[in-house]
Amino acid sequence: MAKTKVVVTRQLIDEAQKILDEKKNDLEIVQWNSEKPCDRSWLLENAKGATGILVMLSDQVNEELLEAAGDELKVIASFSVGTDHVERDALKKRNIRLGYTPTCLTDAVADLTIMLILMAQRRGGESMAMVNKGEWPQMPWHPLLMTGPQIRGATVGFLGFGRIAQASLQRLLPFGIKRAIYLTSKPGQPVKEDHFGLIKSASIPIEPAKSADELASESDVVIVGCSLTPSTKHLVGADFFKKMKKLAVVVNIARGPVIDTDALVKALDEGQIFGAGLDVIENEPNIQADHPILKQPRCVLVPHIGSATIETREQMATESVKNLLAGLTGKAMVNELDL
């Protein structure tokens, strides 16, 4: 009997590879054998006849790929929480299931959110650059050297208030923030999921904002944690920045295009906001050394490392493999997205 074909678009951490390899007797495993992103033409060629494909967030899952795979395809397992690289309608109409990893990376991304807030407020990037350039001797300790806004007493505004946003809020409460507001696709309405029981038990107000304008104008820290959709693309743009407080910072741990980068550069140039901390940016990873955002001393940009703890990446890998295998056999996945 012919083996069931699966395609995996990256090398996997040992633990996850072991789970996959244990099925070698039943599976034909075709795997991209490099640490670099999978070549699109390789994927299109090898997808033919596959029953399952395990993809990274850098692989577009669209009509082109599904057509190339053909009628056998039953499951896509994405090594990510975000699924904006997947055309959900295209999967739905073919009854293809979608697995993803929404829970295991929450802590890692929430931790990075706090790092980026503090880096942006406390001028982490700018301070390190000053020392690294050997400028410290010319700028010795001074009462106003590298001063920035303090987190205690801040109003924190969340664009998107899902699991990662709420885990970030959980970490922010001990810092003594004053208030949290959030905007979801249902402005003004309280969210249903209280993932960590915070909303019920909070010692500070946690309230839905009625509009992006309200969130922009009232927040000292804006955290972008929403999915990328046509309605969130460039939600944080010129109008949003104009309404922000001059001492406010914006942090993006979601997807780059939610922030209009040109507008962010202008807002930083003109002092409309104090700083920014970005894990993601439009057109990543194609950010060359002469990109205007890199000339902004008050912007910290890291290369999409939100979930990059050893423990989390291990869990994401094993969960993705389990989702893939469950999808092949019609079993329950660890996490399946309802299409």
Cα-only R_g, the chain:
22
Q: How far is Cα 12 from Cα 61, in angstroms, rounded to an integer?
A: 19
For position 223 contacting ligand DGY by CB under 6 A, the verdict is no
Q: How many residues bind ligand DGY (CB under 6 A)?
A: 8
What amino acid is encoded at 102 in this protein? P
For position 168 contacting ligand DGY by CB under 6 A, the verdict is no
Shortest Cβ distance from residue 147 to ligand DGY (Å)?
Answer: 31
The residue (of 81 and 226) whose beta carbon lies closer to ligand DGY is 81
DSSP state of 236: B
Shortest Cβ distance from residue 250 to ligand DGY (Å)?
Answer: 17
The residue (of 260 and 319) whose beta carbon lies closer to ligand DGY is 319
Interface pattern 250-269 for ligand DGY (x via CB under 6 A)? --------------------
Shortest Cβ distance from residue 307 to ligand DGY (Å)?
Answer: 4
Residue 26 near residue 49, CB atoms below 8 Å: no
Which residues in the 52-91 window bind ligand DGY by CB under 6 A?
Answer: 57, 80-82
Task: List Cβ neighbours of 71 (8 Å cut-off, separation of 6 or more).
Answer: none
The residue (of 81 and 119) whose beta carbon lies closer to ligand DGY is 81
Q: Annotated catalytic residue: which of 142, 234, 291, 304? A: 304
Shortest Cβ distance from residue 232 to ligand DGY (Å)?
Answer: 14
Three-state SS at 208 = strand
Which residues in the 270-309 window bind ligand DGY by CB under 6 A?
Answer: 306-307
The residue (of 121 and 335) whose beta carbon lies closer to ligand DGY is 335
Shortest Cβ distance from residue 269 to ligand DGY (Å)?
Answer: 28
The residue (of 170 and 309) whose beta carbon lies closer to ligand DGY is 309
What amino acid is encoded at 114 in this protein? I
For residue 212, give the nearest of 280, 164, 260 by alpha carbon.
260
Task: List Cβ neighbours of 185 (8 Å cut-off, separation of 6 or more).
Answer: 231
304 among known catalytic residues:
yes
DSSP state of 252: E
Q: How far is Cα 332 from Cα 339, in angstroms, rounded to an integer?
A: 15
Instruction: Give the H or E element holding residue 125.
Output: helix 124-132
Helix axes 163-172 and 106-121, enclosed angle (nearest 10):
50
The residue (of 9 and 307) whose beta carbon lies closer to ligand DGY is 307
Three-state SS at 182 = strand
- Asked if the peptide bond before residue 149 counts as cis, ω within 30 degrees of 0, the response is no
Which residues in the 19-58 window bind ligand DGY by CB under 6 A?
Answer: 57
Shortest Cβ distance from residue 82 to ligand DGY (Å)?
Answer: 3
For position 109 contacting ligand DGY by CB under 6 A, the verdict is yes
* Binding positions for ligand DGY, rule: CB under 6 A: 57, 80-82, 105, 109, 306-307
The residues assigned a catalytic role are 304
